[in-house]
Chains A and B, each alone.
Chain A
Amino acid sequence: MKKVWRNLPTLRLLIYAVALYILLMLLSSGGILNDYLMIIINICLIYVILATSLNLINGITGLFSVGHMGFAAVGAYVAGTFTTLVWKLPNDGSVSTTLLFIVALVLGGIGAAIVGALIGMPALRLKGDYLAIVTLGFGEIIRTIINNIDAVGGPRGLLGIPALSSFTIIFVATVVTVLILRYLVYSSHGRAMISVREDATAADLVGINTTKYKVWAFVIGAFFAGIGGGLLAHLIQLAHPTQYGFYASFLVLIVVYIGGVGSMTGSILAAFVLTILEKYLLPMLLQWAGLGVEWRMVIYSLLLIIVMIYRPEGLMPREAKFMIPEDH
């Protein structure tokens, strides 16, 4: 029995997910997790989507993208445009609304994926720091363009987005994202992406189309970032260009590297730990210590430096067993 259990990691992952969902739902309906804590959990989940998708680009394929929130912005604005301006969805949470919302999310993801393909092009010629700075530039250009499109509010932001991101939808989207990325990483395509990371020249020599895989990493990573952006916009009911600047991108990058670059388990864990730390524990701790809230980010950045110095490989550099599919 134990052996069967160990040999069915996908089943285990699903059971863990369902158990976590039921637990959170019970705590929430029992009033132990109030709306505030649920918002934080929702943000944690969205960070899981953003971080794992960035990890595909940076960790698995070994590229270096720092403009991830640019993709999220495209997703947020495309999805928001459809639900708010085109379909004018009500806030009723009915089945048809939810279905249309899912369609809008996917459209947002596709929009982000198209942009991802564009940004992936320079990746064919550039490496490391150079690629980093170009993706950063692209992220800023996306933000500038949104800032200047009056149809989606320009600097005012896209307003009046219906609150369609329920906990259930966000949770399901997160689990689906993780399952797909996990499957992908351990498929032959994922192996090819890892070979690009380890040695692109050798990969080329054994007949792997490295060009294709670099672009695909950006396309898929951007797609899921777009989904994350769409969910965020429908959680806080607006999308604003200033939410998607390079500082926001850095925060996602920090989650990936503290968790352990290349490790999906690390990204998932760090998304929870860091978000809860930053939004919940640190403010509480500071209040207890009698310090002003402004010290929150001082401590946060100090922690980041310390983790990087003493554990540069991140907190969870290797995958947990249930994150590795059967036969691996």
Chain B
Amino acid sequence: MELTTFFQQLINGLQLGAIYALIALGYTMVYGIIRLINFAHADFLMVGAFAVYFFASFILTLTNAIPPIILFILGLIVALVAGALIAELSNRLAYKPLRYKPRLSALITAVGVSMFLEYFFASLPFIGPSFRAFPDLLKPVSFVVGGVYLNNIQLLDIGLAIVLMILLTFIVNRTMMGKAMRAVSQDKDAAKLMGINVERTITFVFLIGGALAGAAGILMAMTYPRIYPNMGILPGLKAFVAAVLGGIGNIPGAMLGGFLLGIAEIYATSYNSLLGEGIAFAILIIVLLVRPQGLLGEKQSEKV
């Protein structure tokens, strides 16, 4: 492989990894606190993307004079709010009643919520199952550095993923709410005894997790400007793998897992496209066999 190609693929990998990392952050937050693989997380992303789509289309029919950067920031806010709302709604209606029931019923419910969102959106007459072109919020600008092509949206993806990770780490480690989150994650009952409002903490986590999904949704839609109700399934699955890879429940781990997976997938694909398709799961299986707690996860001793 030539050197420019090598670096080009590295950039490609970082971009893909940034998308995975953004989705993985949300997965890891929710899993960390209630031990639920929230299969519907990838569909919160889709909800966020559609919310921005309708918002931006509406604004653009009113005026074309709005500066792109303002439009993007407004869009981002819409995505965060839409993602947070749909996540909390799912939590309230579907997950909360099952909080103290067997975990696997909650997991099956998550599959149900995921299917419901996908099919519901596909059935709504004004959305439908088909693909939609996502409007350009920011004008794509490409530039060449030493034969390697970069563009502004790639940099935005990578930058925002890192910023959000730092922000989350700060919230979890430095705030009272973060402390409550960690306590609930370790032992719900003990946390309750310590005067922590467990349900409020979980709600907070779902709001943050949903907002992250919304952010991932708008960035994914800007990077790959084609949205449809099933858009979250495949990246969601890969992002979950990324979260497990990094050590599920661990925020920097989700980030690391996302980037590693993105880069590995790009290089594997450029070697052989068949290999690229299976690499995510192959890596996952190997890592879990060698280090079941993931790369940055802490080893949990088995309770007897």
Measuring CB to CB, which residues of chain A are less than 8 angstroms from any residue of chain B?
A: 64, 122, 125-126, 128-130, 132-134, 136-138, 140-141, 144-145, 148, 201, 246, 250, 253-254, 257, 261, 292, 294-295, 297-298, 300-302, 304-305, 308-309, 312-313
Contacts and interface: CB of A to CB of B under 8 A. Distances in A.
B94 A309 contact: yes
Interface residues of B, number: 42
B137 interface: no
Contact of B123 (A128, A136, A246, A294): A294
A253 B280 CA distance: 23
B112 interface: yes
B168 interface: no
A301 B115 CA distance: 6
Contact of A308 (B35, B108, B289): B108
Given A129-B35, A133-B241, A309-B94, A301 B116 contact: yes
B113 interface: yes
A130 B288 contact: yes
Interface in B263-304: 274, 277-278, 280-282, 284-285, 288-289, 292, 302, 304
Contact of B98 (A129, A134, A309): A309
A105 B282 CA distance: 29
Contacts of B9: none
B196 to A, nearest CB: 24
28 contacts: A125-B288, A125-B292, A126-B289, A126-B292, A129-B31, A129-B35, A129-B37, A129-B107, A133-B244, A133-B284, A134-B284, A134-B285, A136-B281, A141-B278, A201-B304, A246-B237, A253-B108, A254-B112, A257-B104, A294-B129, A295-B119, A300-B115, A304-B108, A305-B109, A308-B98, A308-B112, A312-B98, A313-B105
Interface of B: 31, 35, 37, 94, 97-98, 101-109, 111-113, 115-116, 119-120, 122-123, 129, 237, 240-241, 244, 274, 277-278, 280-282, 284-285, 288-289, 292, 302, 304
B109 A301 contact: no
B105 A122 contact: no
Contacts of B103: 128
Given A141-B282, A292-B123, A304-B112, 11 more contacts: A122-B285, A125-B288, A129-B107, A130-B288, A132-B107, A133-B241, A140-B278, A253-B111, A295-B119, A302-B116, A312-B101
- From B109, B111, B123, B274, name the one whose CB has the most chain A CB atoms within 10 angstroms: B111
Contact of B241 (A137, A292, A301, A302): A137
A182 to B, nearest CB: 23
A250 B281 CA distance: 18
Contacts of A305: 94, 109, 112-113, 116
Contacts of B289: 122, 125-126
Nearest to B35: A129
Contacts, number: 108
B98 A294 contact: no
A19 B77 CA distance: 63
A136 B111 CA distance: 13
B285 A138 contact: yes
- From A128, A136, A137, name the one whose CB has the most chain B CB atoms within 10 angstroms: A137
A148 to B, nearest CB: 5
B108 A137 contact: no
A309 B93 CA distance: 9
B50 to A, nearest CB: 16
A125 B292 CA distance: 8
Given A298-B123, A304-B112, A305-B116, A122 B288 contact: yes
Given A140-B278, A294-B119, A312-B102, A301 B112 contact: yes
A133 B278 CA distance: 14
A324 B281 CA distance: 39
A115 B105 CA distance: 27
A254 B277 CA distance: 27
- From A122, A140, A201, A301, name the one whose CB has the most chain B CB atoms within 10 angstroms: A301
Given A250-B111, A308-B98, A312-B105, A298 B119 contact: yes
